[in-house]
A and B are shown apart, each in its own frame.
Chain A
Amino acid sequence: MNATNPIIETFREQILHAAKNKTPLSIEGGATKSWYGNANTYTKLDTRTYSGILEYQPEELVITACAGTPLKEIEAALKEKNQVLAFEPPHFGEHATFGGAIAAGLAGPGRISVGNFRDFVLGTRILDGKGQDLSFGGQVMKNVAGYDVSRLMPGSMGTLALLLEASVKVLPRPAATATLRCHISQEKALRTLNEWAGQPLPLSASCWIGNGAGEGQLIIRLAGAAAAIKAAIPLMSSLVNASEVDPQSAEVFWNDLREHKLPSFENIAADQTLYRLALPAACGPLIISGASNEIVLEWHGQQRWIKAAGDEATFTLIKQLATSHGGHATRFKQGMNVNPAFQRFTVLSEQAHSKALELVQERLRSAFDPAGVFVTNRLP
């Protein structure tokens, strides 16, 4: 239905060839997140040849771009018009692509106040496993014509279809921001953040960094109208005895957090793994035996990062702890000596009431990809 483009034709040929030979393709952009998800050694399909911003009209609050477009190119175009990808997708490297960021589906500090990647995806153009060129959704915020296939793409890790293009909602850069810091226990931080989140306060992001004993510091970001920030600073500071961080250091901090450049994320020992726990708001401090003494909590405690031994027994324990609280856990990044073949995710059957969804998911994948071109198991 779309005019033929030689780059897309090359992709299609690769897909049809893979379908015929039953050899899955591992989709790759800038390879900045190649360590994320289950490992595989399949032939790569490089998306970077299909690059460029196709449409960007700031007053429509939407940008449409090719999957291979560098993420920094997109963010630079938005910055020029004072707009942002409000969920702050991490780059994890110079060459991160738009498509790669969508496939990983990850979000940064802003996620807690604005939503995740899928909340912002409005439309996609894909090549399915039969090489069909398909478009779903569109460029408008409200659209309920047909199933919302586009929103299946974020976080699908290339296991459903080849993403060609996507339209993503953007937001104006907040008129003002401020960052506050205080020393506070993990328990009190979690309680305070949840209480604040239930009040009309301009709370935009939070991060607690501390040790296993529960001592640490809380950093919060406020964003919104200048007058609202000005009014909130004294109110919130006085409650937790916080002080304001200068804007420059604050920007560096939030960026380092988003890009995992803080010391707590770096230096993963050879036999260790950086685990990610996604948890409900109700979950209090967790005690993980054998974990290293650095813990990072984001999203008011709903995303937690810990470093611990990389063996299966430890992951099983962490998974059980997360699922018993209604969440799940991921082996986010593994040390050099940890077996690359380990399953990185909590699988559906490990959660209550989602066993039957395994079959649904399998059928869904084969509807788009009957020959298994994208069955890399990168996401189970």
Chain B
Amino acid sequence: MIPMNMVTPPPDLALISALQSKLVAALRPILPEHALLWEPEDTIPYECDGLAAYKRMPLAVALPETEEQVAQILKICFEMQIPIVPRGSGTGLSGGAMPISQGLVLSLAKLKKILSIDPFTRTAVVQPGVRNLAISEAVAHLGLYYAPDPSSQIACSIGGNVNENSGGVHCLKYGLTLHNVLRVRGILMNGEIVEFGSLAPDAPGLDLLAIVMGSEGMLAVVTEVTVKLVAKPRLARVIMASFDDIEKGGNAVAAIIAAGIIPAGLEMMDQATTRAVEEFVNAGYDLEAAAILLCESDGTPEEVAEEIERMTKVLEQSGASGIRISRDETERLKFWSGRKNAFPAAGRIAADYYCMDGTIPRRHIATLLKRIQGMEKKYGLGCLNVFHAGDGNMHPLILFNGADAEEWHRAEEFGTDILEACVELGGTITGEHGVGLEKINSMCVQFGEGERESFWGVKSAFDPEKLLNPDKAIPTLSRCAEYGRMRISGGKLPHPELERF
């Protein structure tokens, strides 16, 4: 779907080679030898992030080991006007860390120290390359943890989490990265070190920390993050409820919230998913159910007992055909194992899968699922639906065979169709994976020209030369115009009322 040739003309090899020599010569004096890569065999692991279908080779890859080196790299690139693509663990799913042919990849992976942990103030100061789960592991002995838990938490870095405003299974109750980070220290493209936010409850001036969150590496390079730690709940239990109808399942989600309960986790899987994962994990899922809901409660034992009872009642009233409550931690983890393994299970039943990330108001969950069923027929491809039902964030996994270019093309069309349905239902094209390069055309559908122009204004306020990850997240005016023409020529005209096409 991304018409790569349209935006990036075929690179001029001689020009690139000359630019590469210049850049390497400028960076060599400030970096240790092993921290600068430019031979293709060394830089090839950096050609893509978690969205492997989008690849490009950079001029070079820098792996600084200190904040000072990061600042120097930025200053040099600023002077040479060479664009930079910051990169954490490379687990992103939207191509946000895909290199720029005439740019540098700046990996923050070697900045991976936990600088301090303070149990009294419930905070930790960490470098951007620290893995999400490593924070919780380092503070577990204090009875604390870092709440946001994206599925990639074993590998993804906190710097990446800040740039994507990552969520996770528990964000309905505990919030996103935005709600769990107090302060970010970063470097502007011109090399200036700045701090956003504060250890105090607020900071002077406009709330710049809020805009840096989820900015996809386009406003500043993160070098230090102060995270909030929260008390580990004494107990967690999960209810697994089956529904013979997807609509009943969707309504049960709304009913739980309407009853005044905010579960620690509220996840849903459709039948195709439970069947695919059951084979893989043997969690004991009800394979006849059209949908399965997982509702978790955490807190003190008294709190959990009370909440489980209330949720069970609501689920029964919503027409659940079966209810099981985890008896112990082993069983709780077993119930969750299917949900957590949905992605690998998809990988097992199909050669490839394409993960979408739209969010819709909860009341439209059943509507969207029905529309996806229709799209499966239209595109001749299967789709597994797993989602964070509590916050309406869907992850349809479109199954396809990547070796077949035509099939990949159909998968992309399928994905775009889902995203546009999300916008139409009052939602958004991305809940937590980011726009990156993948969804950049869909930004033309979600936002009008005025909003997109404002986004460029925000970008320029931090990075007037537009050198930080400049080809991601925010489409240019001409790109949207081109996309509009393309969609029309494809015989489909989404949102014909919009003049901008």
Chain A interface residues toward B at CB < 8 A? 1, 57-61, 82-83, 105, 111-112, 115-116, 118-119, 128, 132-136, 138-149, 151-152, 154-156, 159-160, 171-173, 175, 194-195, 197-202, 224-228, 230-232, 278-282, 299, 302-303, 326-328, 345-348, 350-354, 356-358, 360-361, 363-365, 367-368, 379-380
Contact = CB atoms under 8 A, between A and B. Distances in A.
A61 B391 CA distance: 10
Nearest to A57: B363
A43 B65 CA distance: 54
Interface stretch (B53-61, B320-328, B444-452): B444-452
Given A140-B392, A148-B211, A60 B362 contact: yes
List the 8 closest A-B pairs by CB distance, nearest first. A367-B457, A172-B260, A227-B302, A280-B199, A142-B431, A151-B210, A327-B200, A363-B461
Contact of A149 (B118, B122, B142, B458): B458
A138 B202 CA distance: 24
A17 to B, nearest CB: 20
A60 B253 CA distance: 10
B204 A351 contact: yes
B262 to A, nearest CB: 7
Given A160-B206, A198-B122, A281-B199, A144 B300 contact: no
22 contacts: A1-B450, A116-B202, A134-B450, A141-B171, A142-B176, A144-B432, A145-B430, A146-B451, A152-B211, A172-B257, A198-B229, A200-B231, A225-B302, A225-B307, A227-B300, A326-B199, A327-B199, A347-B205, A354-B204, A358-B205, A360-B208, A379-B205
Nearest to A196: B231
Nearest to B362: A60
Contacts of B299: 200, 224-225, 228
Contacts of B391: 140-142
B210 A59 contact: no
A347 B204 contact: yes
Given A225-B307, A354-B195, 18 more contacts: A57-B363, A115-B179, A132-B450, A133-B450, A135-B451, A141-B392, A156-B206, A172-B262, A197-B122, A198-B142, A198-B229, A224-B299, A227-B306, A228-B306, A230-B302, A278-B198, A281-B123, A367-B460
Contact of A119 (B175, B360, B439, B448): B175
Contacts of A156: 206-207
Contacts of A353: 185, 193-195
Given A198-B119, A302-B201, A152 B206 contact: yes
A140 B461 contact: no
B392 A380 contact: no
Contacts of A357: 194, 196, 205, 208
B484 interface: no
B459 to A, nearest CB: 8
A140 B473 CA distance: 19
Contacts of B165: 144, 148
B303 A227 contact: yes
A61 B257 contact: yes
Contacts of A348: 204-205
B450 A59 contact: no
Contacts of A363: 460-461, 464
Nearest to B431: A142
A302 to B, nearest CB: 5
A60 B432 CA distance: 18
Given A1-B450, A144-B432, A328-B198, A225 B260 contact: no
A327 B214 CA distance: 25
Given A59-B258, A145-B446, A354-B204, A119 B178 contact: yes
Nearest to B442: A145
Contacts of B284: none
A368 B362 CA distance: 32
A303 B202 CA distance: 10
Nearest to A62: B361
Interface in B339-386: 359-363
Interface in B145-197: 164-165, 167, 171-172, 175-176, 178-179, 185, 188, 192-196
Given A146-B435, A148-B211, A198 B143 contact: yes
Interface in B296-346: 299-300, 302-303, 305-307
Nearest to B500: A1
A225 B254 CA distance: 20
- Name the residue in A59, A194, A230, A353 with the highest tally of chain B Cβ atoms < 10 Å from its Cβ: A59
A123 to B, nearest CB: 9
B141 interface: no
On chain B, which size bracket covers the interface?
Answer: 35 or more
Nearest to B214: A144
Contacts of A281: 120-123, 199
Contact of B302 (A111, A143, A231, A347): A231
A145 B231 contact: no
Contact of B206 (A83, A119, A379): A379
Contact of A278 (B201, B234, B307): B201
Contacts of B464: 363
Contacts of A198: 119-120, 122, 142-144, 229, 231
B166 to A, nearest CB: 9
B200 A354 contact: no
B462 interface: yes
Contacts of A347: 204-205
Contact of A118 (B199, B207, B460): B207
B201 A116 contact: yes
B254 A59 contact: yes
Contacts of A141: 171-172, 176, 359, 391-393
A144 B234 contact: no
A356 B205 contact: no
A228 B301 CA distance: 8
- Name the residue in A60, A136, A160, A226 with the highest tally of chain B Cβ atoms < 10 Å from its Cβ: A60
B443 A1 contact: no
A154 B173 CA distance: 22
Interface string B423-437: 000111111111100
A198 B206 CA distance: 30
A115 B443 contact: no
Nearest to A191: B120
Contact of B428 (A115, A145, A159, A358): A145
Nearest to B463: A360
B410 interface: no
B215 A199 contact: no
Contacts of A225: 299, 302-303, 306-307
A174 to B, nearest CB: 9
A200 B260 contact: no
A346 B205 CA distance: 9
- Name the residue in A136, A143, A228, A352 with the highest tally of chain B Cβ atoms < 10 Å from its Cβ: A143
Nearest to B260: A172
B90 to A, nearest CB: 18
Nearest to A58: B258
Contacts of A224: 299, 303
Contacts of A303: 201
B23 interface: no
- Name the residue in B255, B363, B434, B457 with the highest tally of chain A Cβ atoms < 10 Å from its Cβ: B457
Nearest to B393: A142
B454 interface: yes
B115 interface: no
A144 B231 contact: no
Contacts of B303: 202, 224-225, 227-228
Nearest to B390: A141
B200 A326 contact: yes
A29 to B, nearest CB: 20
Given A134-B454, A172-B260, A353-B185, A143 B199 contact: no
B203 interface: yes
Nearest to B172: A141
Contact of A140 (B119, B185, B361): B361
